[in-house]
């Protein structure tokens, strides 16, 4: 329904997508401006950072498109309209994800994919079948990890009710963090996003294998292939948090 509603005004839709693509593209323009003054950033060249950027932006775009609407759950909890979703014969999470589905978010995916395409062409890598397969694997696992973060943030809103900005700090903030190499951040922050909030497995750790770089925090080489396991654990924890939050929901009392 929301897709049909969006496409009813196609010129407006195209303009919105292009506008979003240009706005999100400013992040990469900022990186280009940095490289107009330096040759490397944190020991990484422009194509290498473009690779990290493209992976994080595309993965996040996929999650934002599919489950990003969950960020508005706090509004439904506050005004009691979540009750409407509870009486329908469909999973509540699926309804929350579909609520006001914003097809315009495809612009973020497109912009990230364009940067990733540039990186794949510009990088001087000895490609092997495993490295080739790692790229789509990182995109899928990254999308799943970010989706789990969205769901966990939505579950938190059952308690906080007005925590969309807190959720954005971990979703949009995490995506922005991953646009840059781990070498520009302090070790404590890198440890946090590796072992506590494991978004490092979206691109930092598996990309180290593809780029032939040293692994963050000196992790063993097998961790480059741990993204599917991390994604599964994140989904399990997010699912548990969602079920706990949903069971604690008591409506507005009105």
Question: Please, which residues have CB within 8 angstroms of residue 207's CB and are 6 or more apart in sequence?
Answer: 51, 52, 55, 138, 213
What is the Cα Rg of the chain in Å?
Answer: 19
pTM exceeds 0.95 for this model: no
**What are 47-82's pLDDT values in tens digits?**
999 999 999 999 999 999 999 888 788 888 888 888
**Contact in structure between 179 and 52 (CB atoms under 8 Å):** yes
**What are 137-184's pLDDT values in tens digits?**
999 999 999 999 999 988 888 887 666 677 778 888 889 999 999 999
**What are 17-29's pLDDT values in tens digits?**
888 888 888 889 9
Q: Which residue stretches of the chain are H helix?
A: 2-7, 10-35, 46-67, 73-79, 82-86, 92-98, 106-122, 129-160, 164-177, 187-191, 204-211, 227-248
**Contact in structure between 70 and 153 (CB atoms under 8 Å):** yes
């Amino acid at each position: 329904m929301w897709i049909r509603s969006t496409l009813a005004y196609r010129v407006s839709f195209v303009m919105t997508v292009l506008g979003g693509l240009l706005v999100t593209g400013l992040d990469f323009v900022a990186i280009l401006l940095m490289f107009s003054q330096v040759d490397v950033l944190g020991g990484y060249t422009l194509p290498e950072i473009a690779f990290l950027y493209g992976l994080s932006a595309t993965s996040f775009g996929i999650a934002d498109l599919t489950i990003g609407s969950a960020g508005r759950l706090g509004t439904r909890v506050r005004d009691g309209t979540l009750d409407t979703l509870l009486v329908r014969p469909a999973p509540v999470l699926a309804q929350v994800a579909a609520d006001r589905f914003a097809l315009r978010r495809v612009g973020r995916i497109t912009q990230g994919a364009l940067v990733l395409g540039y990186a794949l062409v510009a990088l001087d890598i000895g490609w092997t079948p495993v490295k080739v397969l790692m790229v789509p694997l990182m995109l899928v696992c990254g999308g799943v990890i970010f989706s789990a973060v969205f769901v966990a943030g939505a579950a938190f809103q059952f308690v906080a009710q007005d925590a969309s900005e807190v959720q954005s700090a971990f979703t949009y903030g995490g995506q922005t963090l991953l646009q840059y190499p781990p070498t520009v951040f302090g070790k404590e922050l890198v440890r946090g996003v590796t072992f506590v909030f494991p978004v490092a497995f979206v691109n930092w750790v598996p990309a180290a294998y593809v780029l032939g770089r040293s692994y963050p925090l000196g992790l063993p080489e097998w961790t480059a292939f741990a993204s599917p396991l991390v994604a599964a654990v994140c989904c399990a924890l997010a699912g548990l948090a969602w079920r706990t939050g949903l069971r604690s929901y008591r409506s507005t009392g009105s």
